[in-house]
Structures are given as structure tokens and as C-alpha cells.
Amino acid sequence: MAFEDGFVDQLPDIDPQETTEWLDSLDAVRAARGDARAEFLMQKMLGRSHQTGLDVSGLVTTPYVNSIPISVEQAKYWFPGDIELERRIRAFIRWNAAVMVVKANKAADGIGGHLATFASSAALYDVGFNWFFRGKDDGNAGDAIYFQGHAAPGFYARAYLEGRLDESHLDRFRFEIGGNPDDPSDFGLSSYPHPRLMPDFWEYPTVSMGLGPISSLYQARFNKYLHHRQIDDTSASRVWCFLGDGECDEPESLGAISLAGRERLDNLTWVVNCNLQRLDGPVRGNGKIIQELEASFRGAGWNVIKVIWGTQWDDLLAADVDGVLLDKMNSTVDGEFQRYTIDDGAYIREHFFGPDPRLRALVEHLSDEDLRWLPRGGHDYR
């Protein structure tokens, strides 16, 4: 349509009076109810236009809140499992993953390994393993999963609980040599996903950084080709790729994302674990990496779902009739959010909620301990 990018001034207006009435209505709402209410209504109008299929250019970024509203989440997206049981299992996996790396470094100083990558994304993987990932049973194509390579200790720890690996394997993390060549069960664990080194465990290599994302794009495209040419039935196969926000700075990560939008690869899902951190500090300086990535992906034609806040934030956002909490979330940079993650509730109350009395009033019923443990979305099963 010719209305793309808002260039409508050059087009004839078939009903100037109706246009004026709409514009006057917007001005009246802004004058009577303020900018926040006017912006809210405009966002609602844009959302409805997309729902009804109108070809109206949307925004490349959305507010710094979860994409799925609580009203829809409660109606459609309940959690079907036992949250406490799965949390307990996840704790075992996290513990074994951390101990495996620490033990390896005690055996050989400087052997390396990664602790935080899996710890920050354990809930994401567990939900995938327990409820989404499909195997190759009964001749089905199954899902293709590109795991974030630096989270490898977590997958070894899970395999240990499942009985696929034993303690002797975990004791040889990053010690791949020295086994009995005549015993196929006597092997060490590779540092990262590597199907050549561990062909019975790993399916796709994902290190160096960026290798997993670009490989998953072309895997999804190839699966479409196989299906359309009736070579193989991959219609029920989904390609998953897990990566970090820091990894998105690699040219291989974002360099081909326009391919997915152009080819309409609805069989591809990327899960970007945004812990706001790369090796040497906040990602891309002290900005808002989630918003930057959202703009990049939406601009390339992707559907983007943000999961930033846990369920315990829902009541606070519902009570935020003036939009002050949303404004605070939108204006707070990543470095400050990192500080709130590690500091105590008193600091959060003073510096996040404290400057505005309306914000402080929102949480006056919560203790400092409650504020300290307000969850982030990536650690909340719901």
C-alpha cells in the first residue's frame, strides 16, 4: 500500500472532515488526559490494525515489558507441569554443571570452562527439554537444536541425571585424551558441542560464537526445501537456536537474519538469552541491548516476543495507571539493571522506585526482601 512509512501527505484525502475529526479527537484526549493516555490509545490502534491484517507500518521497538499481556497469558498460556518438581531437578543440573567445571580446574589449573552461561539460561533449556523439543522417534524428522556452546556443562549435567553419562565422564570434562581406545564408553567431554568429537551426543557444532545462529538459519531454509520438493517430511520439524545477547555482535549472528524474514521461515525459533553482559562489560556499551535487538529483528521481518519480567511484576504493572513504572523501565539502562540484580532490596527501593513518590507508593506494601527477589522473565517458568 502507498501508506507505508507514513507518507500520506501526497495522497488525496477522500473525506477531509472525517480525518479532521480523528485528529481533533487525538488532540482532545491529549489535552484532557495527558500524553500517556494518548500514547496508550495510539498503541492500541496500531495493535488492532495489525490484528485485522491492515498493512500499516509498525514500530520497530515496543515498551520494555513482556510482549504477551497478562490477560492473554492467564487465558491461554498456563504452565502444564509441576513447577516445584521441575525447579528442584533444575537445581540438581545447575549444581552438577558448576561442580564439574570447578573440579576440572582443580585437576588442571587453567583448564577453563563457563559457569554463568548455563546458570543464566537453565530455565529456558529445561522448559524446552520438558515441553517443546521433539525427538526422532518413529522415523520422524524431529527438531534441530543449536545449543549455545558455552552452556555445554549444563547439558552434560542433564545427561548425567538421565543416565546417559556417568560420573567418570563428568570427571573428565575438557580431558578428551587418555581413554581406552578399545572401550567406546571410555571418553572425556569436549569443551563445546562438537559432533566429530562426540558423535553420539552432539548433533551440531555451535562454537565459535555466531556459528550456531547462521547455521540454524540455513538449516531451517533447507528443511523448507526438503518439504516443498517432497524429499522429506519436515513439516513438523522446528529449528531452535539458543544464543546470547553478547553473541549477537558477531557478524555471523545477525548478518543473515533478513533471510529468515524474506523466506518466511516460520519453522525457526531463536531464543536470545539477554543477561545484558558480554565478556568485558555491558553489551554495546551502557544502553538497552534488548531494545536494540528487537529493532534489528523486527526490522528484518521477524516476530519478536520479549520476556523481561517475572509474574510477580504483573500486579505492579497493573497498578501503574500513570505509566511511571513503565517510564522507569524504559529509561533505565542495562548497567543499572545489572546493579539491581546483585544489590539488596533497600538499594532497589531507593534508586529504582525511590526518586518518584508514585513509584515508591507502588511498592510500599512489599518488604526489601520481596523487592530483592522480584524475578526476571528468563528465570520464571510462567
Q: List CB contacts of 373: < 8 A, sequence separation 6 or more.
A: none
Q: List CB contacts of 316: < 8 A, sequence separation 6 or more.
A: 325, 362, 363
pLDDT at 1: 42
pLDDT at 3: 46
Confidence (pTM): 0.86
| Domain membership of residue 38 as a residue range | 4-58
pLDDT tens for each residue of 172-214: 999 887 667 667 777 889 999 999 999 999 999 999 889 999 9
Direct distance between the N- and C-terminal alpha carbons of the chain, in angstroms, rounded to an integer? 39
Decide which of 246, 270, 299 is a domain's last residue.
299
The verdict on 20 and 159 lying in the same domain is no
Backbone angles phi, psi at 269, to 5 degrees: -130, 125
The verdict on 135 and 192 lying in the same domain is yes
pLDDT tens for each residue of 275-332: 898 877 788 888 999 999 999 999 999 999 999 999 899 999 999 988 899 999 999 9
306 within domain boundaries: no
In the numeric block, the cell 507514513 is attached to 6
The verdict on 316 and 294 lying in the same domain is no
| pLDDT at residue 154 tops 80 | yes
pLDDT at 40: 85
70 within domain boundaries: no
pLDDT tens for each residue of 65-110: 999 888 777 655 677 889 899 999 999 999 999 999 999 999 888 8
**Mean pLDDT, rounded, of the chain:** 90
User: What is the pLDDT confidence band of residue 2, given thresholds at 50, 70 and 90?
Assistant: very low
176 within domain boundaries: yes
The verdict on 265 and 145 lying in the same domain is yes
Among 8-17, 167-176, 319-328, which stretch is predicted with the lowest mean pLDDT?
8-17
305 within domain boundaries: no
72 within domain boundaries: no
**CATH code assigned at 133:** 3.40.50.970
Domain count, the chain: 3
The verdict on 198 and 286 lying in the same domain is yes
pLDDT at 75: 59
The verdict on 153 and 255 lying in the same domain is yes
Average pLDDT over residues 125-142: 91
Average pLDDT over residues 242-258: 92
Q: Is 42 buried (19+), middle (13-18) or exposed (0-12) by CB count in 10 A?
A: middle
Strands 268-273 and 239-244 turn out to be parallel
The verdict on 92 and 219 lying in the same domain is yes
126 within domain boundaries: yes
